[in-house]
Amino acid sequence: MAASRLAAARMLAVQVTDYLFAFAIDIAFRYVTIKPMRGLRLARAWCG
């Protein structure tokens, strides 16, 4: 019984760590893609 609780706690810790890592990558990706578009007008952003 104790082994299964330990395994469950470790699995939860790994899942939380993975989620936070993916969240940080998502924020970084959005920043990198949106930052160069600042200052562009809508027509310029759509038409290139």
pTM of this structure: 0.64
Q: What was the pLDDT predicted at 2?
A: 83
* Sign, CA torsion 16/18/21/24: negative
Answer yes or no: are the C-beta atoms of 29 and 22 closer than 8 Å. no
What is the average pLDDT across 6-14? 91
Q: Concatenated DSSP letters for 5-42?
A: HHHHHHHHHHHHHHHHHHHHHHHHHHHHHHGGGTT--H
User: For residues 20 and 32, which has the higher predicted lDDT (pLDDT)?
Assistant: 20
Q: What was the pLDDT predicted at 10?
A: 93
Q: What was the pLDDT predicted at 15?
A: 97
Q: Enumerate the domain spans of the chain.
A: 2-47
